[in-house]
Amino acid sequence: MGCPSCGSTAFESDVASGNTYCLECGVVVEQNAIVSEVTFGEASSGAAVVQGSLISHDQTHARPMGGPFRSQSSLESREMTIANGRRRISALAIALKLNERHVEAAVRYFTLAINNNFIKGRRSQYVVASCLYIVCRYSKTSHMLIDFSDMLQINVFKLGSTFLKLCRTLEITLPLLDPSLYISRFAALLEFGSETSRVANDAIRLVARMNRDWMQIGRRPAGICGACLLIAARMNNFRRSVREIVHVVKVADITIQKRLDEFRTTESGDLSIADFRSIWLEGQCDPPSFARNQKTYSNSFDAVSSSPPIKESPSQIEGTNVPNTQPREASPAIKSEELSQKVKMDSQEQRSQLLEESNNIRKEVSETLKQEDLKNLSSQMNVKLSEDEIALADVDDEEIQEILLDKDEVETKTQVWMELNKEYLAEEEAKNLKIQEDLKKGIVKQPRKRRKYRPKDSTSDGLANTPAESAKEMMQQRAFSKKINYEALDMLFNE
C-alpha cells in the first residue's frame, strides 16, 4: 500500500494514538486503527491472560471477562433465547426422527422470528414447532401439523394460527402439499403386510388421477389420502372400513365419503381395476364445484319451467281500478250561525251521556262493595279448572291440534319424564316413607313458622297499614323530639 498523496511506502505508526504517517509528506494514512490480532498479558498471579474481547456480528457489546471465581463469559438475553430455542428444536426433532440439517434450518427461522420480535407474548413451544414445520414443508417430509401438536400436547388450532402468522411475518411462501407424500406413511399404519408397496402405488396413481380431474386443489391432503387408500385397499382385496381409515388419517368420515362420491362421477371411476392400472385417460373432468353449481342451476331452471303460468288478475292490469272522476254536485252552503248551534247541541248531548254513564258506574261499584260475598270472590278465582271443563274436541285450529297429544304420545312422554326424573321421584318417595314411619312411632315434626317480613329500618313487626303509621315509624327511628306534636301527626291523614 502506498501513500495516497506522494506514493511513498515509508510509513511510521504511533501505537499510542493509533495513527500511521507518511515519512515523505506527513499525510495521515490510517487513523484509529483497530488491531484484530490476539494479544496476551500477565495477571497478578503470573498467569497469561488474553487481552481484548471477541465481538460477534450479532452482539451489541463485548462480553465482560470474569474473574477467577466467575465464569469466563456471560451470555446476553438474546443468546440465551436462541440457545433455549435450539435445545427445544433439537428435542422435538429427535422425537419426530428428523436430521440435524432440519434442526439448523429451524434455528435460522427461529432467529429470524426473534429479530422480528415474533416471540414476544407467545409460548416458545408454538414458535419452535412452527419453525420446524416450515422446514418440513420445504423438505417435503411426511410430517403433519397434528403430529407436532400430539407430540407437544398442545392445541392444533392455536399451533396452526401461530404457524400462519409466522409465515406472514417472515413473508414465506410455502409450496403446496402433495398428498402422495403421506401415502407410504398411512399405508404402513394400515398393516397391509407384503402388499404395502402395491397398495401404496395404486393409491399414488389414484392421487395423480384426482389431481388431473381437479379434485385435489383446495382440499385437505389427508382427505385425498384417505379416499385413495380406501379404494386401493379394495382393489387389492383388503377390507378396510372407513372407521379404520379415519383413525389413521385423522379426518371425518363425511370428508372421505365426499371424495369417493366425487371420484365416482369421473370417467376413471367407471373403469375396471385392470383398465385403471393400464390405461391413463388424457382428458380431464370439470371441477366438482362447477358440476355442483351447474346441477343447482339446471334444477332451478326446471322448477321454473315446469311451474304453471301466472294468470294476471284484473286488479293487476293498469287502469282497471281508476276511480270515477265525475264531479259531484255542490251541496248548499251552511250558514255559520246554524253550524255553531249544531256544535253546541252535540257537545251538550255528549256531556249529559257521560254524566249518566259515570253515575251508573258509581252505583254498580257501591252495590258490589256492599255485597257480603266479596270475601269469597278471591277464593273462587283461585279454583282450578278440571280437565272435563276444557272442551278440546271442538278445537278447529290446526296449530293447536298439532300441539295436542294422543294417548300413545302421552304415555311415551310420561315414560320419558319418569325416566329423566327418577332420582327426584325416588327421593320424594323415601321422604314420604320416612314421614309415615315417624308418624307410626309417634314422632311428629312441627312445621317451621315463617318469619314475617320486616324492613331493616322499621320499628314495628310488620309493614305499615296506613300512611300515618308509616310517617310515625319514620319519625320514631330517631329519639323523640319535643318539637314534634305526634298527636297532630295522627290527625294529619284523617282529613
Q: Residue 236: its pLDDT value, please?
A: 86
Q: Do domains 77-170 and 179-285 have the same CATH topology?
A: yes
Retrieve residue 380's grid coordinates: 273462587
Is there a contact between 82 and 119 (Cβ–Cβ < 8 Å)? no
| One pLDDT digit (tens) per residue for the chain, 495 residues | 688 888 888 888 887 777 888 888 888 888 766 666 677 888 888 888 877 776 666 666 666 655 444 444 456 788 889 999 999 999 999 999 999 999 999 999 999 999 999 998 899 999 999 999 999 999 988 888 988 999 999 999 999 999 999 999 999 988 888 888 888 888 888 888 888 888 888 888 888 888 887 777 778 888 888 889 888 888 888 888 888 888 888 888 888 888 888 888 887 777 888 888 887 777 777 677 776 676 665 666 556 566 555 555 555 555 555 555 555 554 444 444 555 565 556 556 666 666 676 666 666 655 655 554 545 544 554 544 444 445 556 556 666 766 777 888 888 888 888 888 888 888 999 888 888 888 888 777 777 777 665 555 555 555 667 777 777 677 666 656 677 777 777 777 665
Hey, where are the domains in the chain?
1-37, 77-170, 179-285, 467-495
> Whole-angstrom distance between the N-terminal and C-terminal Cα of the chain?
124
148-154 long-range contacts (CB < 8 A, ≥24 apart) are: 148/92, 148/96, 151/92, 151/95, 151/96, 152/92, 152/125, 154/125, 154/126, 154/129
Using DSSP, state whether 91 is helix, strand or coil.
helix
> What is the pLDDT at residue 24?
84
pLDDT at 494: 65
In CATH, what number does 77-170 get?
1.10.472.10
Asked: is 179-285 a CATH 1.10.472.10 domain? The reply is yes
- What pLDDT does residue 72 have? 47
Please state the pTM of the whole predicted model: 0.48
